[in-house]
Each structure stands twice: as structure tokens, then as C-alpha cells.
């Protein structure tokens, strides 16, 4: 993010009110901020323990960004923006909140310092890599799509190869990229900023990290928003999130089908669905050469991969429709190619928490049996969400998952689209149950991933903004139609 990172100066400093907020004297930070590369934020670096439990003293660096409250006289504190993923950068999030189509309301900007950060292992925060072969970081390889006949032999081989590469090349850092450490890092950020409490906005995977933070450190939370919620089931964690993709796609695909019926994909919603399934099956059997793409062919699983991404927002429908049309035509469009080197860090930092958080079944037969069952129930995703991951060959987790509980202040607002393809509503209800009386849930009758200021509606957006600005939540859970 920056060409030169500032140092952490360990001296007593006199700081302005805008810097220290609600800090106690014993937690007053000694941070030096400088302009980030994007020119809109300030950035700094802090040191956090590599392993919070072993007491070795070894540290890693976290990169943090900030846009200060627009009206210091109204400042309430900091609003930490917890990124999704796992494995996504959050350093530019404050600036994005000011420039996206529906930007953060001014009343929120007036009252909070917006705090972004790259989680451990990601981007500018002690990045990790498994140094995988280029073929293993092709976009279609990032999810375990079975062969057209349901065979998972190739998936088993790839999963084992990836796990071995991560063990060999991940160093000391990779085993410590866990959701629990991500939550502990939030408290390190709080201390470094000199705040007695933090407010937070967690999105997608950030809702799980946020819920862990509210469980581990309930007294250090002010106002917490969880948007597009993961199922916190401690027996499954990331394995459950992958399985839930089947449900999320089934919930959401109808929106695309209805759109497609109005925009020339097929005559009816049912016909759009049938056309997609038929095209995927046809490409399974007869892949089309696609020079320049990675891999250089369009097969059924590539089409399914594009579908998964396209369902995240209504704006993605056009790209999926265009690829479906091109798949039936004489020529394919120029491919969108991401250089493999650019996604090495994302792959490693994304898979690490999924595998480090909880043990996955070791028996390959269990996945071979689960895939056809899932495919029969959810044909759109072809059994992929039930398939094997490198976690089946991963070392045993160092810690048991923490159960999210209802113990703590009632200061959490959840917002959730009814038809979210990545974090489905059914999983959000389990997060709501785990949090109990601590939370209120605003359900939004919309489709797409991420609700607040993205794919929700005015009613849901207003509820979140009111909570952040005034602390007022709905008396009971509510539905925004």
C-alpha cells in the first residue's frame, strides 16, 4: 500500500483528541501516520504476536489505514471495517466507503474514524504464500469442482499437492493465520489506536471474525454491525461455509432466471435455468478452446465458476448472460485473465483459516460419497460444495474453535439479504441464534452478497445507519421488503 512503512515509536506522546478518542492513559498509542499510496487515507504499521498463546515474543506486522472523523466535535470513536474472504485486503476500505456508488452516509463519517487493515497474512500485513504451481491457482481450481462424471480423483490429488506445498512453503506465519488470531488482532488494533472500545462493521467472513471478537472481548465492543453472516457452527466453520454455497446459489439463481426471462436469455425463468444446466452439461462433455484463458478452454466448471461470481450482485447478470450466449456462438469473447502471481497470496491467506480453524474429515471416501448426494439436491453447483479441500491433508488445528455465545452486551445489529449466494440466509439465522439477546436481525428482501450500501435496500440501509449514528436498533427483528 505504501512505498515506505512508518515505524512504531515507543515513546510517550501528547496526542490530539481526534487521535486518542476514548483511550486510557495506559493504552495511549505511539503511532506515526503517513499518507497511503492512494492519497485518501493515512497508514501505519503495528506489531502483533505471531502466536498469542506461546509467549515466544515473535511478532508480525499489520498494516492499518485511517480516515479521521469529519467532525471531531461529534467523534464517537473508531469504526473498524473487518474485511471478508478469508484472504481479502481491507486496507483501502475506508477510501472505498467514500467513493463507492452508495457511499457511507455523512452522519457516520462525521462521528467515526474509519479504520481499514490487511488481516495477518494478507497484502501488506506479513503476506503468506504457498508458492503453488500456476495451474493450481487458475480461477477454476480455487473451488473443488468434480469431474463431469462426479469423480473426485483429480480433486484429491490437487488437494494433497496444495496442502504439501503450503506446509513446505508457508513458514511460521501460515499456521498462525486463524480466525481466532484475526479476532485477537482486532484487540491489538484497538490497543494501538488507544481506544477503550471499538465499533466494527464486519462483512461476510468478517462477520465470523467480528462474532469471535464479541465473544472473546465482549466488554471492548461499542456498536457492532454484522453484514452477510456466516454460520458460526464450531463443528464445521469453513467446511460449513463451503457446503452452504449449494443453498446460497439455489436461493439466488431465481433472481438471475427472472432477469434472464426479461432480457432475452430464454422465454421463461424455468427455461433460463434449464438452459444454464444444459449448457454446463454440454461443455462438460465438449469443452471449447479459449486461447488466453486459464485454463485455455471453456468447460462446464468454468461456466459454473463465472455463475458463482455473477450472482453476487445484479450487475453481474449481464456477464453471465453474455458468456452463455457466446458459448452457443461461433467465437468466445476475450478472456479476463488474472496473472497467477497476483493471486498466490490470496489463495494461501484464504485457505489458511479454513484449514487451521477446524479439523476436516481425513477419509477421501466420505467426500466421494457426499458429492453425488449434494449434486442431486443442488444441480447448479454440481457437487462442488461437498467436495474435498486441502484441509483433509492439513496438520491438526492448534486450537479448538470457540463457540459464539449470547454472553455480553446487547449491541449487535445483523443485516442479511434473503437471497445471498455466498452466505445464505439459513446460515445467518444460525448466527442470530448463537448471539441470542445480544443481537437484532434486519432481514432484507434482496439478492446478492453484502447488503449495507451494496445490494440491500433503503430500509435496511437506514436501519444500519441509525444504529451507527444513534445506537438505536429495532425493538425486535424486522423484515425490509
pLDDT at residue 11 in the model: 26
Instruction: Provide the residue-wise pLDDT of the chain in tens; the chain has 481 residues.
Output: 443 333 222 222 222 323 333 434 344 558 999 999 888 999 999 999 999 999 889 999 999 999 999 999 999 999 999 999 999 999 999 999 999 989 999 999 999 999 999 999 999 999 999 999 988 998 899 999 999 999 999 999 999 999 999 999 999 999 999 999 999 999 999 999 999 999 999 999 999 999 999 999 999 999 999 999 999 999 999 999 999 999 999 999 999 999 999 999 999 999 999 999 999 999 999 999 999 998 899 999 999 999 999 999 999 999 999 999 999 999 999 988 777 777 999 999 999 999 999 999 999 999 999 999 999 999 999 999 999 999 999 999 999 999 999 999 999 999 999 999 999 999 999 999 999 999 999 999 999 999 999 999 999 999 999 999 999 999 999 999 9
pLDDT at 29: 55
**Superfamily of segment(s) 17-126+177-235+405-480:** Alpha/Beta hydrolase fold, catalytic domain (3.40.50.1820)
Residues 6+ apart with CB under 8 A from 448: 252, 311, 312, 313, 314, 417, 419, 420, 421, 454, 455
Under a CB-based contact definition with an 8 Å cutoff, are residues 108 and 465 in contact? Answer: yes
Q: What is the predicted pLDDT for the residue at 294?
A: 87
Residue position matching grid coordinates 492512494: 38
Determine the Cα–Cα distance for residues 41 and 90; give it in Å rounded to an integer. Answer: 12
Q: What is the pLDDT of residue 202?
A: 98
pTM: 0.93
Amino acid at each position: 500500500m505504501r512505498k515506505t512503512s512508518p515505524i512504531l515509536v515507543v515513546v510517550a506522546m501528547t496526542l490530539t483528541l481526534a487521535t486518542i478518542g476514548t483511550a486510557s492513559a495506559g493504552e495511549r498509542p505511539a503511532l506515526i501516520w503517513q499518507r497511503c499510496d492512494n492519497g485518501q487515507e493515512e497508514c501505519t504499521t503495528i506489531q502483533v504476536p505471531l502466536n498469542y498463546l506461546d509467549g515466544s515474543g515473535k511478532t508480525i506486522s499489520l498494516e492499518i489505514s485511517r480516515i479521521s472523523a469529519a467532525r471531531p466535535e461529534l467523534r464517537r470513536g473508531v469504526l473498524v471495517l473487518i474485511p471478508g474472504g478469508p484472504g481479502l485486503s481491507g486496507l483501502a476500505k475506508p477510501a472505498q466507503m467514500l467513493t463507492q456508488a452508495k457511499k457511507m452516509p455523512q452522519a457516520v463519517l462525521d462521528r467515526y474514524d474509519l479504520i481499514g487493515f490487511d488481516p495477518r497474512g494478507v497484502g501488506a500485513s506479513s503476506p503468506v504464500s504457498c508458492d503453488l504451481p500456476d495451474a493450481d491457482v487458475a480461477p477454476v481450481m480455487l473451488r473443488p469442482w468434480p469431474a463431469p462424471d462426479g469423480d473426485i480423483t483429480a480433486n484429491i490429488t490437487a488437494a494433497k499437492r496444495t496442502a504439501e506445498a503450503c506446509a513446505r512453503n508457508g513458514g511460521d506465519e501460515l499456521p498462525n493465520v486463524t480466525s481466532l488470531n484475526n479476532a485477537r488482532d482486532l484487540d491489538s488494533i484497538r490497543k494501538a489506536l488507544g481506544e477503550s472500545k471499538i465499533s466494527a462493521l464486519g462483512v461476510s467472513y468478517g462477520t465470523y471474525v467480528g462474532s469471535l471478537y464479541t465473544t472473546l472481548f465482549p466488554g471492548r465492543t461499542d456498536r457492532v454491525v454484522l453484514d452477510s453472516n456466516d454460520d458460526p457452527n464450531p463443528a464445521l466453520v469453513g467446511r460449513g461455509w463451503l457446503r452452504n454455497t449449494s443453498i446460497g446459489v439455489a436461493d439466488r439463481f431465481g433472481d438471475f432466471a427472472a432477469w434472464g426471462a426479461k432480457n432475452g436469455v430464454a422465454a421463461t425463468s424455468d427455461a433460463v435455468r434449464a438452459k444454464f444446466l444444459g449448457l454446463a452439461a454440454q461443455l462438460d462433455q465438449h469443452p471449447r478452446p479459449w486461447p488466453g484463458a486459464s485454463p485455455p478452454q471453456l468447460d462446464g466448471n468454468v461456466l459454473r465458476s463465472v455463475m458463482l461470481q455473477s450472482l453476487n450482485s445484479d450487475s453481474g447478470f449481464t456477464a453471465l448472460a453474455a458468456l452463455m450466449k457466446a458459448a452457443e456462438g461461433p467465437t468466445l469473447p476475450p478472456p479476463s485473465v488474472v496473472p497467477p502471481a497476483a493471486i498466490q497470496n490470496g489463495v494461501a491467506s484464504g485457505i489458511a483459516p479454513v484449514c487451521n480453524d477446524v479439523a476436516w474429515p481425513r477419509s477421501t471416501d466420505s467426500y466421494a460419497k457426499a458429492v453425488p448426494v449434494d449434486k442431486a439436491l443442488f444441480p447448479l453447483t454440481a457437487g462442488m460444495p461437498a467436495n474435498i479441500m486441502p484441509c483433509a491433508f492439513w496438520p491438526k488445528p492448534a486450537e479448538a474453535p470457540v463457540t459464539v455465545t449470547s454472553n455480553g452486551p446487547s449491541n449487535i445489529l445483523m443485516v442479511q439479504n434473503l437471497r445471498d449466494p455466498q452466505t445464505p440466509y439459513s446460515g445467518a439465522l444460525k448466527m442470530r441464534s448463537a448471539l441470542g439477546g445480544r443481537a437484532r436481525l434486519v432481514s432484507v428482501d434482496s439478492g446478492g452478497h453484502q447488503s449495507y450500501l451494496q445490494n440491500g435496500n433503503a430500509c435496511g440501509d437506514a436501519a444500519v445507519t441509525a444504529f451507527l449514528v444513534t445506537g438505536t436498533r429495532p425493538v425486535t427483528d424486522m423484515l425490509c421488503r
